[in-house]
Amino acid sequence: MSLVDHLPIRHPIVQAPMAGATTPELAIAVCNAGALGSLGLGAASADKARAEIETVKAGTDGAFNVNFFCHARPTTDDAGRRAWLDHLAPYFRAQGASAPTDLDNIYQPIDDNPAMQDVILDTRPPVVSFHFGIPAKPLIQAIHDYGGQVWICVTTLDEAKAAETAGADVLVAQGMEAGGHRGNFDAAQDAETGLIALLGVLARHCRRPIVAAGGLMDGRAVRGVMSMGAAGAQLGTAFVACPESAAAPAYRDALRQAETTAITRAISGRPARGIVGPFQTEIAPGAPTVPDYPLTYDAAKQLHAAAKAHGDHRFAPNWAGQGVALTRELPAADLVAALVGEMTA
């Protein structure tokens, strides 16, 4: 079974919906090359999400994916927020800035965002995927009612079973090798299972098609996970270096030079893998309890902005998977063609 049997695409390849890095231009290029392009809209306003979806619809006849967040509401109290800001204060001072006086809840989960739900139901994307959990049943039903597919990212068998019960059409099996945020439903509980082990377990015990994600950078890897039962493969880091992505020049430079990545909660409040920098090596060790997502992310973004103003890019999250050293700087269509060629070689 392959994704090409479930969607009007020619290749079982998914460009990951990376919030902050995806653009309509990237999704369109991937779709028009025969794969599944994606928009990461979890951090977008409803107006921006609507505009980007309409742009993709106008630019391709192919299927595409839009992605949203299902994180729990943050509950960190005043004392916890203050302790974290006190911990970061020396880093702000080193940049000639003051630490913020509080942390904002900068991202709303899809269940708390009726305006974004309206965008989904008005624009009717062919695939709607969810990260950090499962949306409320009425939204899943509404997507199914207009003919859309619901994809849910899972990191364990228990999460996969819950997603199937909720009505997921496809499971995105995310191994710990993946760049960016881990999709585990509970931010405090991460089994950190590798993709090969996770894929094997899900292929045996789950009924829905599985898209494999985590550290995949070339067509040989795509072929490998499909030989283990995956219906397709999702690649994120591989597409960040494409000229159509929104990656900043400093991010692209980091990808060229990177050799190691690591998972930390110190950037956003949820486990996430990026190129090793001060958050992993200095801020996380010995830190107080990390506030809930996305409160922690608010502080990290402000620290990055303060440093960036002085030309210091060390505090950028630089999300990347374990295969980052295999990054290729190719236009998206050329990358898809290279992946397909490697799959069939």
What's the distance, CA 250 to chain centroid? 20
Percent of the chain predicted with pLDDT > 70: 100
Which residues make beta-bridge pairs with 150?
A: 128
Residue 284 domain-assigned (yes or no): no
DSSP 18: -
One-letter amino acid at 123 equals: T
Residue 41 domain-assigned (yes or no): yes
Residue 87 domain-assigned (yes or no): no
Residue 271 domain-assigned (yes or no): no
Domain count, the chain: 1
Q: What is the CATH number of the domain that holds 141?
A: 3.20.20.70
Residue 336 domain-assigned (yes or no): yes
Joined tokens for residue 191:
């089994």
- 24 close to 39: Cβ distance less than 8 angstroms: yes
Instruction: Write the pLDDT tens digit of every residue in 9-46.
Output: 999 999 999 999 999 999 999 999 999 999 999 999 99
Joined tokens for residue 314:
């060390």
Round the average pLDDT of the chain to a whole number and report it: 97
| pLDDT at 129 exceeding the cut of 80 | yes
Report how far residue 36's alpha carbon sits from residue 59's, in angstroms, rounded to the nearest whole number.
13
pTM for this predicted structure: 0.97
pLDDT at 1: 76
- The domain containing residue 67 runs over which residues? 3-71+108-242+329-344
Report how far residue 182's alpha carbon sits from residue 218's, in angstroms, rounded to the nearest whole number.
21
Instruction: Write the pLDDT tens digit of every residue in 212-231.
Output: 999 999 999 999 999 999 99
Residue 267 domain-assigned (yes or no): no
Report how far residue 215's alpha carbon sits from residue 162's, in angstroms, rounded to the nearest whole number.
25
Residue 307 domain-assigned (yes or no): no
What's the distance, CA 175 to chain centroid? 12
Please count the CA atoms within 13 angstroms of the CA of 76 that sit on its side-chain side: 22
Residue 298 domain-assigned (yes or no): no
Q: What is the secondary structure of 182-234 as a DSSP string?
A: ---SSTT------HHHHHHHHHHH--S-EEEESS--SHHHHHHHHHTT-SEEE
Instruction: Write the pLDDT tens digit of every residue in 91-111.
Output: 999 999 999 999 999 999 999
